[in-house]
Chain A
Amino acid sequence: MENLILYGVVAILLAFSTQKDKAKTRKALMKGLKALEGILPEFLIVVMIVAVVLAVFDPPTIARLIGSGSSWTGILIASLVGAITLIPGFVAFPAAAELLRNGAGVTQIAAFVSSLMMVGVVTLPLEIRYFGKKASVGRNALAFAFSIVAALFVGWMVAR
Chain B
Amino acid sequence: MKLNGFLKKYRATLVVAVIFVGFLVLSPSKAARAEKSLVDQLKTMLLVMPPIFVLLGLLDVWVPRETLIRYMGKGSGLKGTALGIVLGAVAAGPLYGAFPVAAVLMDKGASFMNVLVFIGAWSTLKIPMFLFEIQSLGARFAVARFLIDVPGIFLIAFILSKVLTAGDIERIYAASHNAK
Contact = CB atoms under 8 A, between A and B. Distances in A.
Interface string A45-73: 10111111011101000000000000000
A43 B45 contact: yes
Contact of B60 (A3, A6, A10, A28): A28
Given A25-B58, A29-B57, 11 more contacts: A10-B52, A44-B13, A45-B13, A54-B37, A117-B129, A134-B163, A134-B164, A134-B168, A135-B168, A143-B123, A154-B148
A127 B99 contact: yes
B125 to A, nearest CB: 9
B61 A27 contact: yes
Interface residues of A, number: 73
Interface stretch (B70-78, B79-87, B138-146): B138-146
Nearest to B106: A130
B49 A24 contact: no
Contacts, number: 228
Residue of A24, A49, A89 contacting most chain B CB atoms (<10 Å): A89
B57 A31 contact: yes
Interface in B151-171: 152, 155-156, 159-160, 163-164, 168, 171
**Interface size class, chain B:** 35 or more
A50 B39 CA distance: 12
Interface in B36-92: 37-38, 40-42, 44-45, 47-58, 60-62, 92
Interface of A: 2-3, 6-7, 9-10, 13-14, 17, 24-25, 27-33, 35-36, 41, 43-45, 47-52, 54-56, 58, 86, 88-90, 93-98, 100, 106, 109-110, 113-114, 117-118, 120, 123, 126-127, 129-132, 134-135, 138-139, 142-143, 146, 149-150, 153-154, 157-158
A3 B47 contact: yes
A68 to B, nearest CB: 14
A97 B47 CA distance: 15
A55 B28 CA distance: 11
A41 B12 CA distance: 8
Nearest to A11: B51
Contact of A139 (B55, B138, B156, B175): B156
